[in-house]
Structure 1
Amino acid sequence: MELLDLFIPKLRRAIKEAGILPFTKPQEEAFPHILRGENLLLVAPTGTGKTEAALLPILNNMVRVPDLWRRRGVRLLYITPLRSLNRDLLERMSWWASKLDLSVGVRHGDTTKEERTSQRFLPPHIMVTTPETLQILLVGKNLREILRTVRWVVVDEVHELLSDKRGTQLLVGLERLRLLVKGEIQVIGLSATVGEPEKLGSFLIGPGRRITVVKVPIPRGFMVEVTFPQPTEVDVALSQKLVSTPDVAARARAIIEYVRDKRAVLLFTNTRSTAELLGNRLLILDSNLPIRVHHSSLGKLTRISAEEKLKGGEIKGVVCTSSLELGIDVGRVEFVIQYGSPRQAVRLVQRVGRSGHKIGLTAKGVIISIDGDDFLESIVIKRRALNDLLEPVEPPDKPLDVLTHQIAGILITDRKLSISQLLNILRSSSPYSSLSEEELKNVLSFMSERHPPLFRYFPDLNLVMRPRGLGPLYNYYFNNLSTIPEVKQYLVVNEADESIVGVLDEEFVAEKGVPGVKFIMGGLVWRLKQVFGDRVYVEQDEDPIGAIPHWVGEEIPVPFEVAQEVGSLYGEVISRGRQDEEFEYILRDIASRYGVDPALLETSFREIWEYARLNTPMVSDRMATIEAAEDYVIIHTFFGSRVNRTISKILGTLLSRELGATILVNYDPYRVIIQAGLPPSRVLKLWDSMCKNFSEKMILEGLETTGLFRRRLLHVARRFGIIEKEADINSRILFDLARSLTGTPVFEEAVKELLTIDYDVSTTKKIISEFVEGKRVI
């Protein structure tokens, strides 16, 4: 039987009218499983028709439901991580639904009061929503009624949602939905190409349930070039105009040439500040260049305008961050520029996949490297991406702040529950499948003893109940729907016309928010006039030399495996050089393996080649090397961002304890940098001490004094409802907060976040044991 024949006649006609025949590989493989009612995770590159792969078989089965027209209610919940995705999906879904006389609605924070009222009395068959809005739907009396008919749930961009606490919130929410419908729901997950998809599928569906995983590999036509622009005399002159270096000018000039040569381009950066700075520099070099800047701190209208202008052909490029990494359809884009290493293979695949975003077209892109390390990192990531060596999703384990919020939601709809009932609900979801009774009781005790109490907990009866006054419970639940860390933000207002330019984070305003300070936003320079309340008033300035808003915590970590491969390349060049192989031959050999120009490799390897000719310690993935450089000591460690951050924390603690003063220790993915003029022999003794005495306690020592931990604690405390979101928090209050919360679930969760997101304890422990065993040397 032909695949098309599996669909009802009405849908077959719509499929032919839409012109999506022949079906794509993901559609061919997904359709039969979904039509049979199986839970499914579909992992496929962008632009391969994943949305239709999930939607069409569900619509086919939906119109066959006997009570579809007799009983009002939502049948399909389509959950996406971004409201902008919801806007994009509505048009596509509405077209398909109209062919079957079905209705589609969108429900999120921007939905008008009239639309919300209409959905309550005349619910759509298909509702597109976000994880946060689902939390509202699950507790509203009338809204719960329209969800009782749900039989299908599609979770779009699964890899994005399950990587953080939004995914935890969603998965417990789906368990609450199953209780509401009194039965199982067919769940379809849609994901970009990621590592270990089977684990991701199991995590999505929950313990004791079956899920089919369909993985479609990256197409062979996926094309990525890695380049390393070298400055010329032209760039020396341009650097004067940019008030920067010739290297920066060379990269900016290369970007402009790509933009001019292509119909539509997305230019990805890894941080918002880089996007602002790069957008500004490009416009300085060519004020007529048709580009815009797009990131999450810009105003909604500014972001939508950039998207629409790119789609409509009014501009040729958008400088963006991960804000345009997800499945928004910008179909005109034929090329992607990644400024600097994408840091992870999965990011490269997702971003370059934004180009050629039509079935049958080829995804094409280029990585413009910034320095030698960045170039080697980029070619390693390219190789890993093309060989399907992608980073897996690492969901959080048993987050206690989300646990508290979900218990609050359950108690809004159920007046009281026994501990065993509560455990059964929570353990049905993957994040809390191993939650112990003791862990649950600790949270219940803490939240029932706070003022005002959120729960009433009776240990002797093993019972938890709503508080007598429901106000605090409702306020806590609805004020903490988002698990995204809350950073107080200030509206940036153009004083000339009162228009909203964007937002600034509280840290920037606290440090630099004085009249006369200039910064770049939306690719334009603004001069700060005054700060009044939660608004920063500005005026446009023609002088391009300005400060950049400082956003914390944006850097994407370089994985251990990537850093190790970069280290192995350095080691290979040194080792082969000491065996008297010719430099040019080594370069050609490595270049052929990685698909790059040998001349570009020479720029990265020239310095290390000089080391190869000397009798000095070599650097490699298996050897760490200590190097003294005036007032610094550099330990070359190819262990990636999180491991090197862990090592830098331990060494900093040991040095401070030994010297009786705070010693600053920095890191990057390839080295740890001690800002002190110490002899290498002393650092070697320190390293040996770390290896011999390593324990998690070494990381935790003095933790409450670090800015990184205090920020984590602040975000966790806000999710627990301990601190109001709008409260002004200074460093002294944070220090006192850390001391007062020691030993509580809030402190415990902040430590867990730090150890799992910022540090990598398990890999560090493994590496250190290998040094002790002699498998690695220093």
Structure 2
Amino acid sequence: MSATLGEPGAHAAAWLAGRGWQPFAFQREVWQAVAEGRSGLLHATTGAGKTYAVWLGILDALLRQHPPGRAAEPLRAIWLTPMRALASDTAKALLQPLRDLAPNWTLGLRTGDTSSAERAKQDRRMPTVLVTTPESLTLMLTRENGRAELAGVAYVVLDEWHELIGSKRGVQAQLALARLRRFHPGLVTWGLSATLGNLEQAMQVLCGPDENPPPLLVRGKIDKTLVIDTLLPPTPGKYTWAGHLGAGMQLPVVEEIERSGTTLVFTNVRSQAEIWYQLLLQARPEWAGHIALHHGSLERATREWVEQGLKEGTLRAVVATSSLDLGVDFLPVERVLQVGSAKGVARMMQRAGRSGHAPGRPSRVTLVPTNTMEIVEAAAARVAAQQGRVEKRNPPAKPLDVLVQHIVTIALGGGFRADELFAEVSSAWSYRALTRAEFDWVVAFCERGGDSLGAYPEYHRIVRDEEGVYRVRDAGVAKRHRLGIGTIVSDAAVQVKYLTGATIGTIEEGFIARLRQGDCFFFAGKLLEFVRVRDMAAYVRKATRNKGTVPTWMGSKMALSTELSDAVLEMMEGAARGEFAGPELEAARPMLQTQQRLSQIPTPGTLLVEAYQSREGQHLYVYPFAGRNVHLGLASLLAWRLAREQPNTFSMSINDYGLELVSAAPFDIEPVTSQLIFSEEDLLHDVLASLNSGELKQRRFREIARIAGLVSSGYPGQPKSARQLQASSALFYEVFRKYDAGNLLLNQAENEVLSQELELSRLAETLQRMRTRRVVLAALRHPSPMSLPLMVERFREKLSTETLAARLERILRDMEADESA
């Protein structure tokens, strides 16, 4: 390809020109920065051309430094992605310009799906550019010759950085980058993101605190139309609860798919995806073979078939979860439907970007509410997206379980000296506040197992030699460590297989344990009959009956984000003034007007408190609009503080908007209406006292124990059951609690419960906001439209579906009779 190649980006511009394309200004900006040896973060709309902005800049710089010859260059660039499916798609995109500009250079793909033959080929000679995941990169760091293989890496790209930054996988990536910077001090690092609210911080986390020259934040602004609309139910009604409108949206969704090209139907959880796949087939049986299901528990071959069908446009619709959230390039997709609330502005925009995934094409997401409050959420989400109110993603602060794993990794990969590794680890953002005492404790824990495991040789994982270098000497320790690398922890899964032996996918052991022989359940879009369990596999046959249950997975429900909940309250404020602007608020008008008539509509400046007396006892409803995680801690805190003043027993219920406390014995609500109970004084003590904090910490410790390598998931073909893993982690927890009280992993478990499960900082902020709002107390004659969903949440815990339906029918009948009297 001939071109004048004197300026930075010339190779890149020439390649684009050869395809009839012109680079955007932000792409040229990235090319210039890469040519200057600068790291940075590129934030641009999905489908705007981020991949070619960074990759062509890197390729251009490499061609200047290493003019292509007959032989392939050794490993020079690593492209990290958070998903295996995304890795495969990215590799294809990177390969096109590589073949044209440097035909002899090579590209490799290394993930958990890479065959042993391909790995062996790479081991003999690494490719010029490697597309991989954080886990696979960490595995490369365990190799004795890892430094020799990776020392030539000059460029690293972290794709979909917003998906990694807030998790322990992101911390794992930070530590890997710190090691690569030690191998190659001039390492250039770039992150790609489409939906982030804290861009400056995200860039610092990626590039390290001492990057020189300073990193560059590039905003890729191009004209890209984002259409956000709502599929409104014909009769939302005056009362609603979780899932109330769900099945009623079946035909409207089917009609939308019929009017569109290839459509992605997103749900938030796998069980909901299974349900909606069945709803589509029930409405249109002739669509069998033309619609598909995609989630992370399905067999890889099935997922790849679905992804290929989306790329080729041969599928009419795919029902999916977050397994298709990220930037896999599905050009034929025209529409995205989001069933239920996306719970966050960033997630909604990310999913919208799966349609119109190319510059100049509009992206469209249609929100499908499953209850009337989600209609209000839909309008709020559109406004928040238009105003750019996108959620922040904050990195975890010094997770020591990840550090334990990393220290053993580096000891395997050639060894380390403590002073040098402390300096290296401290250069990673999440460990910038790590003290030397904490680091020394972790090293000692890896060396001797802490104060309580010294008698057990298998926990003496690293050994210090006479030169002060720590290494792994035991082959068994090395094998177990390599098998356990990673920070993704889930409950033990069993394979689902036909009696013939064909694998369908995986399902959590806890669900299978509840089934009896002959029970039927929907999975992978099929109705299956459970036959037996053998060797961690559940054997099934196609069911002849036409009814079954839907599997439940342990993934927790997503909580409403602060940005979206604030936007919802602003919508409610307009309704409180009698303003129902837009089709969504007009559709929700009957419910909102009923709420106003029976109680009050919550607003940003008010805190709605409702009191109600029933045959169950005294009910108290509070609506902070802080999300279900905060409300869990808040409900427990308020109940504990109320019972401390006046001994009592409370039942609780929560959702994203508020909480319910109910007691058979009467209680004084004055501490609530006076706001005294919202004090932040002794908050940490009171929160821990109000919850079964020991159980919460023990559950969190299970994950920590597995990441830190204390508990092994077993060997290939010999996985441990969930019961075995729980028993092992529980034993460690009790041993540390009784005999090693200073164990920092126990402290981490408590900190993670407070920061992640209960969101203590957000709880404190919520209490502060509640004190600044004017309390509005409403005495209810019967449940309001906002309190009824909380009642339903509590009923679901103890009533069957039929009993719940009868109970609701009676409540609604009584309310209607009372209103007409």
Q: Same fold (TM over 0.5)?
A: yes
Match of 1:718 among 706, 716, 730: 706
Aligned to 1:337, the other structure's residue is in SS state strand
Counterpart in 2 of 1:486?
490
How far did residue 119 of structure 1 move? Answer: 1.8
User: Which range is displaced more, 115-124 or 647-656?
Assistant: 647-656
Alpha-carbon spacing, 1:675–1:537, altered in 2? closer, same or farther (3 Å): farther
Alpha-carbon spacing, 1:756–1:145, altered in 2? closer, same or farther (3 Å): same
Match of 1:264 among 237, 262, 265: 262
Match of 1:465 among 461, 466, 470: 470
Counterpart in 2 of 1:601?
588
Distance 1:136 1:734 in 2: 24
How far did residue 765 of structure 1 move? Answer: 1.7
Aligned pairs for 1:732-771 (under 5 A) are: 737-742=732-737, 743=741, 744-771=743-770
Distance 2:637 2:4 in 1: 59
- The yes-or-no answer on 1:280 pairing with 2:278 is yes
Distance 2:584 2:380 in 1: 14
2:606 counterpart letter in structure 1: R
How far did residue 330 of structure 1 move? Answer: 0.9
Distance 1:675 1:540 in 2: 45
How far did residue 552 of structure 1 move? Answer: 1.8
User: Which range is displaced more, 388-397 or 220-229?
Assistant: 220-229
How far did residue 617 of structure 1 move? Answer: 9.2
Alpha-carbon spacing, 1:655–1:150, altered in 2? closer, same or farther (3 Å): same
1:425-478 CA distance string (max 9 Å, x none): 1111111111011222332333323332345689xx9977336x4235413431
CA contact (8 A) 2:492 2:508 kept: yes
Counterpart in 2 of 1:453?
459
Distance 1:680 1:560 in 2: 31
Distance 2:277 2:4 in 1: 47
Alpha-carbon spacing, 1:272–1:707, altered in 2? closer, same or farther (3 Å): farther
- The yes-or-no answer on 1:526 pairing with 2:514 is no
Aligned pairs for 1:352-751 (under 5 A) are: 352-418=352-418, 420-447=419-446, 448-449=448-449, 450=453, 451=456, 452-455=458-461, 465-466=470-471, 469-495=473-499, 497-510=500-513, 512-541=514-543, 543-574=545-576, 576=577, 583=578, 586-588=579-581, 591=582, 596-611=583-598, 622-628=606-612, 630=614, 631=616, 632-654=619-641, 663-679=650-666, 681-682=668-669, 684=671, 688-689=676-677, 691=679, 693-701=681-689, 708-725=696-713, 726-730=719-723, 737-742=732-737, 743=741, 744-751=743-750
CA contact (8 A) 2:711 2:728 kept: no
1:228 counterpart letter in structure 2: L
1:168-210 CA distance string (max 9 Å, x none): 01111111112223x2211111111211211100110011112
Alpha-carbon spacing, 1:701–1:440, altered in 2? closer, same or farther (3 Å): farther
Gaps of 5+ in 1: 234-243, 577-582
Normalized against structure 1, the TM-score is what?
Answer: 0.88
Counterpart in 1 of 2:805?
none
Distance 1:674 1:220 in 2: 47
CA contact (8 A) 2:562 2:627 kept: yes
1:645-703 CA distance string (max 9 Å, x none): 22023235457778988744231111112353454635846974463754112222375
Aligned pairs for 1:108-127 (under 5 A) are: 108-127=111-130
* CA RMSD in angstroms, aligned pairs only: 3.1
Counterpart in 2 of 1:253?
251
CA contact (8 A) 1:292 1:318 kept: yes
Counterpart in 1 of 2:716?
none
Distance 1:689 1:246 in 2: 34
Structure 1 segments of 4+ aligned residues over 6 angstroms from their partners: 2-5, 461-464, 616-619, 655-662, 731-734, 773-778
Distance 2:191 2:94 in 1: 17
Distance 1:657 1:525 in 2: 51
Distance 2:151 2:376 in 1: 54
CA contact (8 A) 1:692 1:772 kept: no
CA contact (8 A) 2:292 2:318 kept: yes
Aligned to 2:246, the other structure's residue is in SS state helix
CA contact (8 A) 2:605 2:774 kept: no
CA contact (8 A) 1:493 1:499 kept: yes
Counterpart in 1 of 2:784?
none
Match of 1:196 among 185, 190, 198: 198
Aligned pairs for 1:52-91 (under 5 A) are: 52-66=52-66, 73-91=74-92
Pick 1 or 2: higher relative contact order, CA cutoff 8 A, min separation 6: 2
Counterpart in 2 of 1:236?
none
Taking only the aligned residue pairs, the percentage that are identical comes to 25
Alpha-carbon spacing, 1:232–1:341, altered in 2? closer, same or farther (3 Å): closer
1:150 counterpart letter in structure 2: V
Number of residue pairs matched?
Answer: 742
Distance 2:691 2:87 in 1: 41
Distance 2:326 2:363 in 1: 15
Aligned to 1:713, the other structure's residue is in SS state helix
User: Which range is displaced more, 76-85 or 89-98?
Assistant: 89-98
CA contact (8 A) 2:268 2:322 kept: yes
- The yes-or-no answer on 1:93 pairing with 2:97 is no
How far did residue 93 of structure 1 move? Answer: 1.7
Distance 2:97 2:412 in 1: 37
Gaps of 5+ in 2: 714-718, 778-821
Counterpart in 1 of 2:344?
344
How far did residue 368 of structure 1 move? Answer: 0.8
How far did residue 708 of structure 1 move? Answer: 4.6
Aligned to 1:587, the other structure's residue is in SS state coil
How far did residue 423 of structure 1 move? Answer: 1.6
Counterpart in 2 of 1:579?
none
1:148-171 CA distance string (max 9 Å, x none): 211111111111111200010111
Aligned to 1:537, the other structure's residue is in SS state strand
1:83 counterpart letter in structure 2: R
Alpha-carbon spacing, 1:176–1:367, altered in 2? closer, same or farther (3 Å): same
2:610 counterpart letter in structure 1: I
1:700 counterpart letter in structure 2: L
Distance 1:167 1:342 in 2: 23
Distance 1:403 1:318 in 2: 39
How far did residue 311 of structure 1 move? Answer: 2.1
1:750 counterpart letter in structure 2: A
User: Which range is displaced more, 399-408 or 720-729?
Assistant: 720-729
Distance 2:308 2:43 in 1: 28
CA contact (8 A) 1:231 1:249 kept: no
CA contact (8 A) 1:26 1:50 kept: no
Aligned to 1:503, the other structure's residue is in SS state strand
Distance 2:601 2:38 in 1: 58
Alpha-carbon spacing, 1:66–1:225, altered in 2? closer, same or farther (3 Å): closer
1:365 counterpart letter in structure 2: V
How far did residue 771 of structure 1 move? Answer: 4.7
How far did residue 597 of structure 1 move? Answer: 4.6
Aligned to 2:548, the other structure's residue is in SS state coil
Distance 2:433 2:672 in 1: 41
